[in-house]
Amino acid sequence: MMQPWTSEEHLVNEQILEEAHAAFSSNFKPEAWFERTIFLSWQNVVNCTLCHLTKTSQITNQMSAKRSLASLMAEVCLAKQLDWKIQLSTGYLNANIEDLVSISKKIVELTGQKFWLEAQSIPGIDIDILKPYLLGINAPLESINKGVRKRMFPNAPIRNFLTMFDDAVHLMKGASIVLGMGETLSDIQELHHFIQMNHIDKITFLPIIPHRNTPFKKSPSSFYMTRWIAETRIAFPKIEIVAGTWKGRVAEVGLFLKAGANAITKFPAVKRFNSEDAKSIEQEILTSKRNFLSTITNISKLIQLKDLTTDIETKDKLLKYIQTIQEHK
């Protein structure tokens, strides 16, 4: 189990938390939700140090890891039933635009809501085609630190994201930041400059998760992540902030909310549904006096999905999701 609590408590004090909380309260309702990223593919061909999928792809000689439509739609059904907000990610592959439009249309038809799309790069002509289904475009920026980016993401220059943002006219813009890769608190100002210059509407902060196929041995402390969240909330009171947490770290959720986060993500909510960690997250949200719009513990709501009318392939995948959840209860 990872231990988020370290000697970095000095990074966060009551003054900065109170200021961040005031900025949040002046612009948002006392609510929170769970956000689920749904991937089109498990394959990574960017060859970045961050992702263990890079080596996995090399080991499998880049065998196709594209998910089936049934698998995707089963996860969408699950997210809708449990009131999880959806972000669709193309991963690191250039998705076929016809497939992406078809999937996007099905998501909106099923959920009745537009969604965020995360991508490395999408041509402007394709963004125009996808606009009827999207809330916004999210760029996996990963790090704002130039040294980290050069070392870890040599094939994903920031200019690709800036071009995508320029093409995303009349769509909201977002970026995901992974903390714990070698950046420092001094990089917060660089992030804020990026937000201001590119009119960013949403920022997602994620902790680096150690994996045997990556060089990372520990995650950033909860206080370190909270400092990034709080300073960003104070500087940008109206921006949407999503904070990532992980199993064994869930005691940090209340701290993230007090620092001004709107939502929680990253937590493995399928395998850990209704687990002690999941219950702790919901308790942290309740203690923070937020109304949790989602659920990661309600088994009865989950079981109702067994009666859902859909095609055979999607229903089969959905039942497997439910079985996985019940087995890891």
Q: Domains of the chain (ranges plus CATH)? A: 7-327 (3.20.20.70)
**DSSP tally for the chain: helices H, then strands E:** 13, 9
Q: Report pLDDT for 249.
A: 92
Percent of the chain with pLDDT over 70: 88
Q: Is the predicted pLDDT of residue 328 greater than 80, yes or no?
A: no
Better pLDDT: 123 or 5: 123
pLDDT number for residue 309: 87
- Per-residue pLDDT band for 188 (boundaries 50, 70, 90) equals very high
Give which of 292, 265, 266, 244 is closest to 33, Cα–Cα. Answer: 292
Q: Over the chain, what is the mean pLDDT?
A: 89
Please give the pLDDT value at position 61. Answer: 37
Q: Residue 326 has what pLDDT?
A: 82
Beta bridge partners of 142: 177
Range with the lowest mean pLDDT among 62-71, 179-188, 273-282?
Answer: 62-71
47-78 as b/e, with b when 16 or more CB fall inside 10 Å? ebbbbbbbbbbeeeeeeebbbebbbbbbbbbb
Half-sphere exposure of 227 (CA within 13 A, CB side): 18
Express as a percent the part of the chain with pLDDT over 90: 74
The string of pLDDT tens digits covering residues 237-248 is 999 999 999 999
DSSP symbols for 12-43 = --HHHHHHHHHHHHTTS-SEEEEEEEEESBS-
**For 5-19, 45-59, 90-104, 305-319, which range has the lowest pLDDT when averaged over its residues?**
45-59
CA distances from 234 to 23, 30, 60, 169, 228 (A): 6, 17, 45, 27, 10
Q: What are phi and psi of 308, to 5 degrees?
A: -65, 135
Extract the tokens encoding 228: 């990034």
The separation between CA 207 and the C-alpha centre of its own chain, rounded to angstroms, equals 11
Tell me: pLDDT of 291 over 70: yes
User: Could you tell me if 152 and 45 are in contact, meaning their C-beta atoms sit under 8 angstroms apart?
Assistant: no
**Predicted confidence (pLDDT) at residue 1 exceeds the cutoff of 90:** no
Residue 7 has a pLDDT of: 64
Residue 59 pLDDT > 60, yes or no?
Answer: no
Which has the minimum average pLDDT: 47-56, 147-156, 307-316? 47-56
For residue 92, name the pLDDT band (cuts at 50, 70, 90): low
The per-residue pLDDT for 50 is 54
pLDDT tens per residue across span 191-214 = 999 999 999 999 999 999 887 777
Least reliable range by pLDDT among 53-62, 96-105, 311-320: 53-62
Helix (H, G, I), strand (E, B) or coil at 11: helix
Question: What pTM was estimated for this model as a whole?
Answer: 0.92
Q: What is the pLDDT of residue 42?
A: 65
Q: What is the pLDDT of residue 3?
A: 47
